[in-house]
């Protein structure tokens, strides 16, 4: 499938923050006439037909993919309304915790389902998504899903669906960890006497700039850390606190383990 061709017609179910980010990314590439189902969205961009419910989807509409972006807790009620597309469209789900098997029980045995976990930097096309294909997903359907997810950032695939729990803990929840770091750096800067506006500027730009450097560098994160750490300097003194026993290394490991367990619990 050539990236120069428009994305084929899609049915997007749910157009909240992540669904909206994906829709914007697809339209930037070029999207054929598509349909969005979302009763809460006030308007749709050009070329997209906005309808309030599944029964309002035009009878003759044949999407290449049905993208499921509703809240996971609404899946049991919402998904059966789209079972009529099983066997013709691939279902691409970004619902956290909803397993492929569970979705196929709601959509029917013919349903080809790809489960994916994107993260919030998708809003600026800098996200990372990990996907897993279920039974019956064809090579062409997988390629289409890769293209849809690639519109919002990098894409990787796993063969074992259970790995998506750890993916959720690392990258799905990960932006919150980074935002917490910026929040704590800003607070600590104010405690050291810096004006609040300057504290915020330094914290935000340092986190954002360091992330950009990490993305652009061919070096590992540990090597970049060591390059900033002069012997007997300020950075070394700070890292001695952060890397002490029961400090960052242990806490980050415990945090990601806890999030992984919670993801498994939500999958039920």
Question: What is the count of structural domains for the chain?
Answer: 2
Same domain, 180 and 152: no
Query: Are 51 and 115 part of one and the same domain?
Result: yes
90 and 29 both lie in a single domain: yes
Query: For every one of its 268 residues, what pLDDT tens digit does the chain have, with 9 covering 90 and above?
Result: 445 678 999 999 999 999 999 999 999 999 999 999 999 888 888 889 999 999 999 999 999 999 999 999 899 999 999 999 999 999 999 998 899 999 999 999 999 999 999 999 999 999 999 999 999 999 999 999 999 999 999 999 999 999 999 999 999 999 999 999 999 999 999 999 999 999 999 999 999 999 999 999 999 999 999 999 999 999 999 999 999 999 999 999 999 999 999 988 887 6
In a domain, residue 5? The reply is no
Tell me if 196 is assigned to some domain: yes
Q: Are residues 123 and 203 in the same domain?
A: no
Q: Are residues 112 and 205 in the same domain?
A: no
Same domain, 213 and 256: yes
CATH number at residue 93: 3.40.50.720
The verdict on residue 3 lying in a domain is no
Same domain assignment for residues 103 and 217: no
Domain contains 47: yes
Are 190 and 148 in the same domain? no
Q: Which residues are within 8 A (CB) of 124 and not within 5 positions of it... i.e. 6 or more apart?
A: none
**Same domain, yes or no, for 95 and 117?**
yes
> Distance between CA 48 and CA 32 in Å, rounded?
9
């Amino acid at each position: 499938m050539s990236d120069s061709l428009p994305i084929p017609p899609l049915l997007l179910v749910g157009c909240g923050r992540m669904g909206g980010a994906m829709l914007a990314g697809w339209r930037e590439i070029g999207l054929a006439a598509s349909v969005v189902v979302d009763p809460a969205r006030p308007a749709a961009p050009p070329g997209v037909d906005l309808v309030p419910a599944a029964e309002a989807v035009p009878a003759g509409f044949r999407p290449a993919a049905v993208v499921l972006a509703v809240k996971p807790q609404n899946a049991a009620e919402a998904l059966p309304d789209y079972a009529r597309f099983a066997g013709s469209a691939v279902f691409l789900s970004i619902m956290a915790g909803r397993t492929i098997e569970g979705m196929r029980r709601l959509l029917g045995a013919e349903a080809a389902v790809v489960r994916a976990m994107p993260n919030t930097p998708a809003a600026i096309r800098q996200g990372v998504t990990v996907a897993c294909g279920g039974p019956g997903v064809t090579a062409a359907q997988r390629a289409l899903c890769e293209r849809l997810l690639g519109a919002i950032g990098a894409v990787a695939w796993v063969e074992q669906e259970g790995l998506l729990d750890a993916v959720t803990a690392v990258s799905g929840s990960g932006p919150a960890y980074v935002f917490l770091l910026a929040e704590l750096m800003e607070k600590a800067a104010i405690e050291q006497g810096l004006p609040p506006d300057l504290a915020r500027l330094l914290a935000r730009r340092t986190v954002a700039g360091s992330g950009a450097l990490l993305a652009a560098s061919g070096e590992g994160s540990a090597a970049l850390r060591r390059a900033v750490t002069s012997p007997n300097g300020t950075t070394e003194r700070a890292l001695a606190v952060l890397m002490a026993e029961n400090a960052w290394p242990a806490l980050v490991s415990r945090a990601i383990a806890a999030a992984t367990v919670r993801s498994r619990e939500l999958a039920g």
